[in-house]
Amino acid sequence: MRLLIIITVAGLIGTCSAPPSVLEQVLDTGELRVVTRDSPTAYTIGPNGPSGPEYDLVQAFADELGVALVVETVDSVSEIMPILIAGDAHMAAAGLSITESRREFLNFGHPYKSVDVHLIYKLGTGKPRSVEDVLDRSIEVVAGSSHVDLLTSLQKAYPELSWAENADVEFAELLTKVAMDDIDLTVADSPDFNIQRHFYPDLRIALDLEIGDPIAWAFPKGTGNSLLARADEFLIDADRSGMLARVLDRYFGHTRKFDYVGTRNFIRHYESRLPRYRAMFEQAGREWGADWRLLAAIGYQESHWRSQAVSPTGVRGLMMLTQDTADYLSIDDRLDPESSIFGGARYFVRQTERVADTVGEPDRTWMALAAYNVGFNHIKDARMITEWQGGNPDSWLDLRKALPLLSQRKWYTRVPYGYARGWEPVLYVSNIRRYYNILKWLTANEEPPESEVLDESPDSPVLPLSGKPEESA
């Protein structure tokens, strides 16, 4: 009888199987549920659908798993942890810092980037040079953020340190409040600050509170590590393949360089000069299937929106066309702003069309901009050098490393079209990306443009042009 009982129990145990892991559940249901922040540094929805660094990465992860991505967005970082703990999402891809308080409830994967944490003030209000200097000034931070943990740790050494926590704002809004003198100080991660300082050039770093703060995807505790381990494999492979670098460059590459005086001048010229030409840029954008704000950014880089601009090399007009290019475009008067804008738009779209079909957006646009500056044949040379160096010629991130080599004899003597000041198109594209980003921000509350080339897809609308293209603008 005892033997029979043992056999029966063993049989029952043998028929019981462990519950499926989280990864198995994701694969079985065909859905990866992710919570993220509605923020330029994580996830946004624009005229062409969702985008953002976290979205691009987690969408690629879902594609690798062969499942659909289901995204839930929140307005504040404080809403993320309750969603994970409740089991309403498998993971968070929201630019979260790894903190001890979060580790009590969450598991973190492989850090895929790091950020610096700054104390931010406004120029002219007095720069705090130590924590003691901020004890009598108002500080506001996002509730539930890692910045609260950081200030709490500082409070142990400075008991008089105090701050307000706001659960109804995002980091960018607090930076705006500092710029508008609504609060004295806030704490911001370097990506948020680097973006917002282009809109509010009076924002400044008072103190670096932390350097190299790791950022990672988060998973609820008690659910095993199957999905976390697979995500780690994906991110490590993305880093090795260069995909991670391309994603980060796509969204943050234009923020690295900051020109305080240049940014202030741009915003001032947006108000004083652009209104005279805006309708022309908008019409040219509609006619040639380009975002008018990108065309305007080109115009500002070329002439600072001055229709009578003339360079020592002979290029002239608002879009700085050469005489040969003007002849190719059948433009009689390069100093006529309408002719210059429409001609520049047509020429830029022509460069976009000439970029290889294998190049997707936004790399396609950056390469077309570089071609507008240095000539398309030099772009072809740089693509050759990129391949020789083992890079991806369809990646702007790789191509911009090769372009400056066109000024070195050991390289330009090996390519068909020879010497070029290859560092110039790299700076050219970087500047236009900043101007374009500011224009998008300045016009964000207006009706969306009818056409926007930077839709992050390889099928951006461009119109074919006929005739032999000119090689320099």
Q: Residues 102-156: pLDDT tens digits?
A: 999 999 999 999 999 999 999 999 999 999 999 999 999 999 899 999 999 999 9
Per-residue confidence at 171, pLDDT binned at 50, 70, 90? confident
Whether CATH 3.40.190.10 fits 18-111+216-253: yes
431, amino acid identity: N
Residue with tokens 């069309």: 353
Query: Where residue 48 falls among pLDDT bands split at 50, 70, 90?
Result: low
Give the residue-averaged pLDDT of 183-206.
Answer: 89
Q: Which CATH architecture has domain 114-212?
A: 3-Layer(aba) Sandwich (3.40)
* Percent with pLDDT over 70 in the chain: 88
Whether residue 352 is predicted with pLDDT greater than 70 in this model: the reply is: yes
- The answer regarding whether domain 260-442 maps to CATH 3.40.980.10 reads no
Catalytic (active-site) positions: 302
Task: With residue 209 as reference, give the H or E element that holds it.
Answer: strand 203-220
Task: Tell me the C-alpha distance between 287 and 280, whole Å.
Answer: 10
What are the tens digits of pLDDT across the range 393-432? 999 999 998 998 887 778 888 999 988 888 889 889 988 9
Question: Does pLDDT of 453 surpass 90?
Answer: no
Give the pLDDT band (50/70/90) at residue 13. very low
Q: Which part of the chain is CATH 1.10.530.10?
A: 260-442
Report d(CA 245, CA 266) in Å as an integer: 29
pLDDT at residue 196, as a whole number: 81
* Averaged pLDDT, 435-454: 72
Q: Does 211 or 468 have the greater pLDDT score?
A: 211
What's residue 3's pLDDT? 45
Instruction: Determine the pLDDT at residue 246.
Output: 84
DSSP 150-201: HHHHHHTT-TT---EEETT--HHHHHHHHHTTSSSEEEEEHHHHHHHTTT-T
User: Who wins on pLDDT, 244 or 459?
Assistant: 244
β 106-108/203-220 pair status = antiparallel
pLDDT reported for residue 357: 94
- The DSSP 8-state label assigned to residue 276 in this structure reads G
Highest mean pLDDT among 46-55, 75-84, 232-241: 232-241
Q: Among 8-22, 98-112, 181-195, 239-253, whose mean pLDDT is lowest?
A: 8-22
In the block, tokens 């988060």 appear at 218
Contacts 24+ apart (CB under 8 A), 159-168: 160/135, 161/131, 161/134, 161/135, 162/135, 163/139, 164/138, 164/139, 164/140, 165/140, 165/141, 166/140, 166/141, 166/142, 167/76, 167/78, 167/142, 167/143, 168/75, 168/76
Tokens coding 335 = 């100093």
Q: What is the pLDDT of residue 312?
A: 63
Tell me what percent of the residues of the chain surpass a pLDDT of 90: 63
Whether the predicted pLDDT of 305 surpasses 90:
yes
What pLDDT does residue 260 have? Answer: 65
Above 70 in pLDDT, residue 277? yes
Residues of the chain with CATH 3.40.190.10: 18-111+216-253, 114-212
Neighbours of 10 (CB within 10 A): 10
Within 13 Å, how many C-alpha atoms sit on residue 79's CB side? Answer: 16
Give me the pLDDT at residue 236, please. Answer: 95
pLDDT in tens, 219-256: 999 888 999 999 999 999 999 998 898 888 878 876 66
